[in-house]
Each structure stands twice: as structure tokens, then as C-alpha cells.
Amino acid sequence: MLTSDILGEVFEYLDDRDEILNSPTNFRDLYSCLLVNNQWCENVIPILWRSPFSRCYQRRGNLLIKTLISCLNLSERQDLYNDGVFMPNGKYNIPLFNYPHFIRKLDYFQLITLIKNWCRIYLEGSNEESVTAILRSVLRLFAKRHAYLNTLIIRSDDDLYCLLTEPEILPILYPIRDLQISCYFPKKRLMNNLAKHCRNIISLQIMNLSIENDTSYNTAKKLALLIENQRSLKSVVISKTKFINIIIPSLIKQKKTLRQIIFRKLDFEGCGKLDFIKSCARLENLDLVDCCNLNYPMITSLVNHKNLKRAGVRNCLPANVGDELRSWANKINCRKRKYY
């Protein structure tokens, strides 16, 4: 009989392959492994439930929400009843596994979408209040069952995002290591709590904050505070974002830990020199892609960086600055090849 360690490696390989293929039928092999015997089932379940929402499509998504609701105990189901949510007839037996405990990645928009779809199909008289009540119960379930989230994806400015800041739910944010923000206006209360409680982020992606007004200005200040508060930030991706003159200076606080910086589709007008990059002694990878309004004083600190292992420069404007940066990037990359 194969040991659990060997089975785990095999299933991890299947999972990695399925992630690369990325189609609705990809996870058929892993799901089939559930039916072999108890040992196989026990090894597959944690893998399937690490990122369950990204694996779900229409029919399977409804089953996922039903499974999560089944994990609620009698008291938690009573709370739903008190909130005016009358569950449809059917069996909701407590599952054999503590499924929420295995969740590591939460795409919150996907979770909201699946709950809305489930309520629309199965819940008579479904409305916004019932969606909110079920979402709150599921999030509390994650906190009570000790879901150790590594990744949080925020890609909507829906009011439902503020549920993440409720005291009983907030602890699920503490262990976040990978934070991805991709929406125009993340809720102020959510941004305040992320900056206050998420201090161990390793990888941060900021995308699509591309509207220039007072709200995005204040969001940029919150993002700067979030960056400054980190203890071991290694990778930063900033793409299509306004007010970068507020965000970028905060990266100096992470000069001892940063390994990768990617700037994509940014307008550097009004930004000062990028001197902080020279201070990032551990920086290995730097990308500038589709950026504009760069100037020579701004990039002088880049060309003097000695520890970079790879640099990528593409389609940066004005063209004369972009050409010089590309020439410098080629020297960096050639230097790496010489070492090997």
C-alpha cells in the first residue's frame, strides 16, 4: 500500500497539472480518487479544498455552498432562521470532514457569486438580506473552524466586503500572505483593517485602481500604510493604478525584504527619483512594462543597482528613456548569463 506521503505527492502533481490546464473538466481525476478508499479520500480532500471556489462551475458551485451550509451546527442554523432565512427541504447532515479548515485561498467575489446563485435557485423569496445572512454564516464558519487563509483576492467594491471586518470574522484575515486587490474603490473600512491586521503579507498585487478622484487618492494612502506595516514583503506588483506618487515611496520601508518589483501600465508623471530601488539590496527582479512619463533623473538609481539578477523593460515612454532602460536591462540579463 502506498504511504500517505507518496499519495500526497501524486495528488499534488495532478493538482498542479490541472491548474495549468485550467478547464471545467480538469479536476475529474482528483475527484475520482476520492472514491478509491478512505486513505485516498483523506489525502485528496485537503488538496481539493485549498481553493474550492476557483474549482467550481455552475452545478458544482451549488453543491459546494450546500456542503458549507451542512457544516453549520444547530446553533448556527438557528441564527440563520432568526435572520429570516428558511432553508429549503433536504438533508443537511454534518459532513465527515471539517472542510472549512482546509481552505487556503479565498476569492471573495467568487464566494459571493456562488452564494447569490445558490440563493436564487434554492431559497424561496431570496433577497439581499438572505444573501448577506448566509455569507456571514459561512465567513463565521471559516473563523470558527480555523480556516488558515494564505491568499485573499479582492476584486469588487461590493458592500458585502465589509463583512470581513466584523469582529467574529476578522481573524481570518490575520494569516494572509498573498493579497490581491483589483477594483476601483476597496471599501475604506476594509482597507483600514487590512492595514492594521495584515502585517505578514509576502506578495502584494495592486491592480485597476485607475480612476483619479478623492476616493482613489484616499485609497492610495491606505495602500501606502498597508505596505509600510508589512514585516516581510517580498513581491510587489502595481498595475494600472493612480496616485503612485503616494504608494511608491512607502516601498522604502520594505528595502530589506523586497525581492521582486513589477510596475505595469503606470504613469510616472509627478513622481520623484526611484532612489528607493537602489536601497533594496535583496532585489532580484525588476520589471517596467507599458509605463510612461519616465525621465533620466528618475532612473539613475536603477542603472547603478548591483544585485539585480533579472530586469525586464518593455514599451516604456518616452522612447529615448525606454531605449536606455532596455539597454541597461540587457546588460543586467547578460551579466546573469555570464555567471552561469
The length of the chain, given as a count of residues: 340
Could you give the C-alpha distances from 245 to 17, 232, 261, 310, in angstroms and in order? 40, 22, 16, 25
Which amino acid does the sequence have at 145? R
Instruction: Please give the helix or strand (H or E) that residue 161 lies within, else none.
Output: none
Tens-digit pLDDT profile for residues 190-232: 999 999 999 999 999 999 888 878 888 888 999 999 999 999 9
Sequence-distant (≥ 6) Cβ neighbours of residue 281 within 8 angstroms: 255, 256, 307
Cα-to-chain-centroid distance, residue 262: 16
pLDDT of 91 strictly over 70: no
Task: Classify residue 92 by its DSSP letter.
Answer: -
The secondary structure of 213-256 as a DSSP string is SHHHHHHHHHHHHHHHT-SS--EEEEES-S-HHHHGGGGGGGTT
Q: Quick check: 226 and 251 in contact, CB under 8 A?
A: no
Q: How confident is the model at residue 337 (pLDDT cuts 50, 70, 90)?
A: low
Tens-digit pLDDT profile for residues 168-200: 999 999 999 999 998 876 778 899 999 999 999
Determine the Cα–Cα distance for residues 229 and 269; give it in Å rounded to an integer: 26
Tens-digit pLDDT profile for residues 234-251: 999 999 999 999 999 999
Supply the pLDDT for residue 4: 65
pLDDT of 23 strictly over 80: no
Tens-digit pLDDT profile for residues 263-308: 999 999 888 888 888 889 899 999 999 999 998 888 777 777 777 8
Q: pTM here?
A: 0.89
Determine the Cα–Cα distance for residues 46 and 50; give it in Å rounded to an integer: 6
Supply the pLDDT for residue 278: 84
Which is more confidently placed, 114 or 29? Answer: 114
pLDDT of 314 strictly over 60: yes
Instruction: Please give the helix or strand (H or E) that residue 34 lies within, else none.
Output: none
pLDDT of 339 strictly over 90: no
Q: How confident is the model at residue 16 (pLDDT cuts 50, 70, 90)?
A: low
Percent of the chain residues past pLDDT 90, beyond the cut: 48
Q: How confident is the model at residue 122 (pLDDT cuts 50, 70, 90)?
A: confident
Determine the Cα–Cα distance for residues 175 and 199; give it in Å rounded to an integer: 9
- Closest by CA position to 205, among listed 256, 244, 254, 154: 154
Between strands 105-107 and 203-207, the pairing is unpaired
pLDDT of 340 strictly over 50: no
Helix 58-70, helix 128-144: angle, nearest 10 = 60
User: Is 237 buried (19+), middle (13-18) or exposed (0-12) by CB count in 10 A?
Assistant: middle
Coil, helix or strand at residue 197: helix
Percent of the chain residues past pLDDT 70, beyond the cut: 87
- In angstroms, the first-to-last Cα distance of the chain is 43
pLDDT of 81 strictly over 60: yes
Mean of all residue pLDDT scores within the chain: 85
Q: Quick check: 154 and 127 in contact, CB under 8 A?
A: no
Coil, helix or strand at residue 145: coil
